[in-house]
């Protein structure tokens, strides 16, 4: 045997030993995965900061979309080169109560110049309520390269950054929507099973105000969409969406968010379904739990206006509010 061949054999034996050792390490990790909370994601994966966006306003690979709750805000001035999506027409079905269909959304995205490789950045007022819904819709229809502007429109304006009244002219894109991802959306039968404890693998989070959750009020003042029953879905934990927002309108750090939800038993060990009144505020919490903390989360977009109007479903009403009683 030559000195070289002997050296090669010894090297081969060492590599075999390493392979066995790695296998021994990997198998236990898989075996215990179900007992380990989902790791926290890096928040920068789906959040962009204003400085980055300001430097990429003219990047042809970036499409900026404003989705604000207040009508006419975009027209008064918007982030330069941003196009305008309206929640009531672009992201939902304008006739049936449903999200935008695959065909409807694909046409909307193409008209906005979105391609398969476009980085979509959404922002809006009210701490990104509707913008978070937009992220959920893009994810639902298979576009993964989508982000949200930290702090949204309000922080951009407060920081004195430029606004423009000019509506950009864009070329049509080639975005192709996939079949809706069933892992991101919950329906009435799903939450009824949770309420009746037929599904013990999923936690419910009600992100409305404490007064809405308790049944003291049916809806926030000034809102038209109502349910004829007050209260919440039995078993739901109340964590108002605004808990996740820092004083400057940005998302709180991931470690702080994790602590907030850990205190309510929402830690990634079980699946989560979030809801609010009509689904838009819950999208904000969906973003926090799914995109920042990395948990397995569905949005129940029917929310309380569906559940609170449904016949025969269980309801928890701590305050004992009764509809129609003055």
Which residues are marked as active site? 276
Q: Identify the sign of the CA torsion 106, 107, 108, 114.
A: positive
Number of residues assigned to the chain:
326
Query: CB 35: neighbour CB atoms within 10 A?
Result: 7
Nearest-5° angle of CA 278, CA 122, CA 163?
115
At residue 202, φ and ψ (nearest 5 deg) are -130, 135
- The rounded distance, in Å, linking the Cα atoms of 9 and 229 is 76
Kindly state the tokens that stand for 68.
């604000």
Contacts of 121 (CB under 8 A, 6+ apart): 48, 53, 62, 63, 64, 65, 146, 147, 148, 149
Q: In what order do the strands lie in the sheet with 47-48?
A: 47-48, 146-149, 119-123, 62-66, 82-84
Three-class SS of residue 84?
strand
Residue 94 to residue 103: CA distance in whole angstroms? 14
> Could you tell me the CA-to-CA distances from 2 to 5, 11, 16, 31, 183 in Å, in that order?
5, 14, 22, 45, 60
E strand residue ranges, the chain: 47-48, 62-66, 82-84, 119-123, 146-149, 202-206, 237-238, 271-275, 297-299
């Amino acid at each position: 045997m030559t000195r070289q061949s002997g050296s090669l054999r010894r090297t081969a034996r060492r590599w075999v030993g390493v392979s066995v050792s790695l296998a021994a390490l990997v198998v236990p990790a898989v075996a215990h995965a179900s007992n380990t909370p989902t790791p926290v994601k890096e928040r920068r994966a789906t959040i962009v900061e204003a400085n980055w966006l300001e430097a990429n306003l003219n990047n042809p690979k970036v499409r900026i979309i404003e989705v604000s709750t207040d009508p006419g805000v975009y027209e008064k001035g918007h982030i330069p080169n941003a196009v305008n999506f309206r929640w009531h027409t672009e992201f939902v079905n304008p006739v049936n109560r449903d999200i935008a269909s695959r065909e409807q959304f694909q046409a909307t995205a193409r008209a906005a110049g979105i391609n398969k490789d476009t980085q979509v950045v959404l922002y809006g007022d009210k701490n990104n309520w509707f913008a978070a819904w937009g992220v959920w819709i893009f994810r639902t229809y298979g576009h993964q390269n989508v982000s949200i502007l930290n702090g949204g429109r309000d922080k951009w304006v407060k920081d004195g950054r430029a606004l423009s009244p000019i509506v950009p002219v864009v070329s049509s894109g080639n975005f192709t929507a996939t079949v809706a991802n069933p892992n991101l959306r919950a329906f009435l039968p799903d939450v009824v099973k949770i309420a009746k404890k037929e599904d013990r693998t999923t936690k419910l989070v009600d992100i409305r105000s404490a007064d809405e959750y308790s049944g003291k009020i049916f809806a926030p003042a000034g809102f038209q969409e109502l349910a004829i029953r007050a209260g919440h879905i039995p078993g739901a934990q109340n964590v108002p969406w605004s808990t996740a927002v820092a004083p400057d309108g940005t998302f709180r750090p991931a470690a702080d968010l994790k602590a907030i939800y850990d205190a309510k038993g929402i830690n990634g060990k079980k699946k989560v379904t979030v809801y609010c009144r009509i689904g838009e505020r819950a999208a904000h919490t969906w973003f926090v739990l799914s995109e920042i903390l990395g948990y397995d989360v569905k949005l129940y977009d029917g929310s309380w206006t569906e559940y609170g109007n449904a016949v025969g479903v269980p309801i928890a009403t701590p305050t004992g509010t009764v509809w129609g009683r003055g």
